[in-house]
Amino acid sequence: MTTRQDCQRQDGEDPLAPLRDLFELPAGLIYLDGNSLGVLPKATASRVQQVINAEWGRDQIRSWNSAGWIDLPARIGNKIARLVGAGDGELVVADSTSANLFKVLSAALDLVRADAPGRRVIVSERHNFPTDLYIAESVARERNLELRLVDVDEIFAQLDDDVAVLMLTHVNYRNGRMLDMAKINRAVHAAGALAVWDLAHSAGAVPVDLKGGGSPEESADFAVGCGYKYLNGGPGAPAFVWAHPRHTARMDVLQLRQPLSGWLGHAVPFEFAPNYRPAPGIARFICGTPPILSLAALECGVDTVLAAEALGGIPAMRAKSLAQTELFIALVDARCRDQGLELRTPRDTRVRGSQVSYSRVDGAFAIMQALIARNVIGDFRAPDVLRFGVTPLYTRFTDVWDAVENLRQVLLDGEWREARFNQRALVT
């Protein structure tokens, strides 16, 4: 069995190890929650302070031009595009994941139903992240359409002549299962529908190829994602939105708009025209004025991921992530046997994201609170899931070994039964 000394050796041989120095990580903390909130990059505080003191404080409104504030949604968007297989000018940072999902779902429906008005079904996985399902429910209710929720293994069978849009999350937030995007896109397009993807648990963590290697059949149609998980943009960081260029071009031909046609998505915002005229390409999906302080922080976070390019990039990160999740699973199998933990994450590495999840009928919430009290930070998802996220930029192999050792002690000693670990705050 793997020992802690083995893990120390792996850390010493890890080509990505220098990237850990890019982050603020308190001594003694084992942070396995980057799939919920990424760690603070060391560059962020000084960069945000520069924006506050010099760009806002000294130069004030002039900084929209002199400091390039107005260009940040596109500039950061081009950086994120490199991580998800998109091209320059195809992805922008704007608004929230929920708002962006509303935009792209509406646009996708308009495109499909322009040719096939009888298609009136949105399909999604029933265990998709709640905000995705809530937004889809709102769109379906607003348009008098059907939202059809199915188990993930039923997706292909559901792609009939009634389906307009399939909306999925690439990596499931509960169990970390990763879907075969190219295969699903191919099936969706063969059925005459469009595919909308949520990359919240993918961007900056696993390989993503939105354009399907150049194959129209295997490319995605629309995608959204958040900036505060693996992109390390800070709590509530702005989200991003992508549309395949063929769709923005067709929206021009059909004179279709995304529904939140705010002023900054206008073709010439400072013309201040009374009537809306969409900007070309992806820029039409911007709605309101960009949050500059948040964007400055997000750019620092994205830059930490791009720093891995010189050390092997996403492929190297993926290899390390799989090695660490494999280690976590093997250690739990060996050291926490007969403790009621049921692995929810796929053992098949081909369909595993960058997290490991376990369910436990008795005390899952309290177990996680006891771990947090030991400075092992994961999180709990109702009703019974303990999640441990791996972020290759800063997670060490010794962190994995120590986390499982703490989990073992919490379970064997029964300390999770203490009353203080069974008191729920609003955020779990």
Active-site amino acid positions:
129, 198, 228-229, 387
DSSP H/E element including 125: strand 121-125
Task: For residues 338 and 336, give the distance between their C-alpha atoms in angstroms, rounded to a whole number.
Answer: 6
Q: Which residues pair with 359 in a beta bridge?
A: 342, 385
* CB-based contact 264:288 (threshold 8 Å): yes
Tokens of 183: 């295969």
What residues contact 212, with CB distance under 8 A and at least 6 apart?
181, 182, 185, 218, 219, 220
CA nearest 327: which of 389, 401, 384?
401
Cα angle vertex 28, ends 331, 26, to 5°? 125
Count of CB atoms within 10 A of residue 298's CB? 28
Strand pairing partners for 266?
A: 278
- Cβ count near 153 (within 10 Å): 8
* Contact residues for 211 (Cβ-Cβ < 8 A; gap 6+): 85, 86, 87, 219, 220, 244
Residue type, 348: D
CA-to-CA separations, 38 to 65, 271, 420, in angstroms, rounded? 30, 39, 27
> For residue 259, is the peptide bond before it cis, meaning its omega torsion is within 30 degrees of 0?
no
The identity of residue 52, as a single letter, is I
Q: Which residue has the tokens 């960009």?
A: 290
DSSP 424: -
C-alpha dihedral over 173, 74, 78, 186, to 10 degrees? Answer: 60
Residue 381 in contact with residue 173, Cβ under 8 Å? yes
Joined together, the tokens standing for residue 290 give 């960009």
Two tokens, residue 252: 């021009």
Residue 224 per-residue DSSP state: E
Classify residue 75 as exposed, middle or buried by CB count within 10 Å of its CB (0-12, 13-18, 19+): middle
